Structure 1
Amino acid sequence: MIQRWLDRFCYKHPRFGIPNLMLVVVIGNVLVWLLDQFSQGFSLSSALCFAPYYIIHKGEIWRLLTFIFVPTTSNLFFLAISLYFYYWIGSILERQWGVTKFTVFYLLGVVLNIIAGFLVYLFIPLPVETATMHYVNLSMFFSFATLYGEMQVLLFFVIPVKVKWLAWLDAALFAYDIIYNLVQLPTVGMFALAGIVAPIVAILNYLIFFWDDLMAGLGRVKRQTSHRHSRQTVNFKQATKHAQQTKGYIHKCAVCGKTDTDYPDEEFRYCSKCNGYYCYCSEHIHNHVHIE
């Protein structure tokens, strides 16, 4: 239901959005990283990160937005790989969804992170960072894998692998982080709470946009599984296999005895009201006594 409402909103407001949003985010991350590296005795990331204590008590409201541009790692190699990865996925999603829907997706992740960050602050009322965009950026990959699961990419620029398998790996990392922080709760207390809430919030953002699609997919799988294991399907497969092995007919009318071998242009159907797996030709499918 929420997904349909979001689709209607995006359709009615085509001009709402920020073109090349991920390019803006990537450039912001690069600039902040560079300033962190070349500034002496001052960390710009510390001044921009999401810390509710400074927002509430110091009035530093810019942190509600600037934490988007705080790099999640100080290692240049991993930063370059992750930013390229985010930009590539974000650009494809923007082309697929349109500027409006992708902007709503990303901004909703920001808003959910802000709410989660303040909730964590209720348990940890200290001047510490309580939210980052790390998991929201990773959740974009779930969206990408849902749309392009069969696409093949080069892992480490060498190993070919389908996107859907990388998505399962991504999901495993999410689960590991949640479980690890749950285990750490008795030791470090509420300081592990942010590591639990952040992945859950990112998954929630993904589910809001894909819940209807996931439920529809599960429904199709259930129907296909039920059809494959139904009595008629199993009997039909057995009859087909037997006919292929004996090189005989596949369909035979239970009334007149016509077969698809003798009458290749005849249309044969199976009656769902008969108690068993009985085939009939076009003349008798509607003109026979149902077998009880």
Structure 2
Amino acid sequence: MNNFLNKLERKMGRFAIPNLIVWILAGYVVGYTLSYLAPGVLNYLTLEPYYILKGQIWRLVTWVLMPPDSSLLFAVIMVIFYYQLGQALERTWGTFRFNVYIFGGIIFTVIGAFILYGVMYAVYGVPVAGMGAFFSTNYINMAIFLAFAVCYPDMEVLLYFIIPIKMKWMAVVYGVLIIFSLIQTNWAGRVAIIMSLLNFLVFYFSTRNYKRISPKEIHRRQTFKSQMRQPAGHGGVTKHKCAICGRTELDDPTLEFRFCSKCEGNYEYCQDHLFTHQHIHRS
């Protein structure tokens, strides 16, 4: 996945939108404003495949303006909170990868809406409208939160501005709520939830370090440790070395190496371990 995104970024990185989270939250502000001044307009913005196929193609985009159902005070807190999360993720991943993550979630949600529309058409034999209620921006927000929790699991936030809690435990609570929603809702709701969060599932499973448990990787680590115990030879000098697997640019010229800003000390990691390693703290 990393190699694919690297190639894609080289070709299309110039089209990435900086500060994308600002534009998304600005859309929420527009949606909240419409909900107070002209609530009837929101009916023309929802993600409804029935009306999209009849020519209302703007619904493919305008559903992102639909604000989550909440009070104005909660909306203000949400905008501030998700602005911070979005900015942090963009700094961590880079503008292009953050764009891919957000737009991937939007595209998966649209595909899910049309899959649901097709299934319901096959079941009832007639076009069915009114599915916009199943798809909302709640899951875009949840995908941002879950991705941040995976990248910064030990970061603490103040729940209700009082209770300190780590992001990983909040993510566990979110996960339980998602599972509860999947159990409680009908099959149409399950399709909407799964497709809306598919970008997070792809991100999560693609960043797991499955190589660490493979026999080949275990053998390679053992070989590396035995070589490290031997006296240094006269091999070539390397500029980069992964603190986890020990690979250098001499092992694979295509490897990319970066220092981790969260580790205390100068620890450099290859592209396979940059986002999956456990941060080193001296204290």
Structure 2 Cα separation of the partners of residues 106 and 169 of structure 1: 22
Contact 1:3 1:209 in 2 (8 A): no
What does 1:3-82 align with in structure 2 at a 5 Å threshold? 3-39=2-38, 42-57=39-54, 59-82=55-78
Q: What is the SS of the residue equivalent to 1:13?
A: helix
- AA aligned to 1:146 is V
2:194 to 191, 200, 203: 200
* Residue 141, structure 1, aligned to residue 145, structure 2: yes
1:217 is displaced (CA, Å) by: 8.7
Match of 2:90 in 1: 94
* Residue 171, structure 1, aligned to residue 175, structure 2: yes
Aligned residue pair count: 208
What does 1:227-246 align with in structure 2 at a 5 Å threshold? none
Relative to the length of structure 1, the TM-score reads 0.65
1:126 to 128, 131, 135: 128
Change (3 A) 1:194 1:3: farther
Deviations along 1:238-260, whole A, 9 cap, x unmatched?
xxxxxxxxxxxxxxxxxxxxxxx
Contact 1:3 1:208 in 2 (8 A): no
- AA aligned to 2:23 is V
Match of 1:212 in 2: 206
Contact 2:106 2:196 in 1 (8 A): no
Q: What is the SS of the residue equivalent to 2:164?
A: strand
Structure 2: gaps of 5 or more residues: 121-126, 219-283
RMSD: 2.3
* Residue 158, structure 1, aligned to residue 162, structure 2: yes
Contact 1:33 1:74 in 2 (8 A): no
Relative to the length of structure 2, the TM-score reads 0.67
Deviations along 1:43-67, whole A, 9 cap, x unmatched?
222111101111112x110000111
- AA aligned to 1:143 is A
Structure 1: gaps of 5 or more residues: 182-191, 225-292
Match of 1:264 in 2: none
Q: Which moved more, 1:135-144 or 1:165-174?
A: 135-144
Q: What is the SS of the residue equivalent to 1:14?
A: helix
1:86 is displaced (CA, Å) by: 2.1
Change (3 A) 1:203 1:50: closer
Contact 1:67 1:132 in 2 (8 A): yes
Change (3 A) 1:163 1:46: same
1:206 is displaced (CA, Å) by: 1.3
Structure 2 Cα separation of the partners of residues 133 and 219 of structure 1: 37
Structure 1 Cα separation of the partners of residues 48 and 135 of structure 2: 8
- AA aligned to 1:64 is L
1:69 is displaced (CA, Å) by: 1.2
Structure 1 Cα separation of the partners of residues 129 and 150 of structure 2: 38
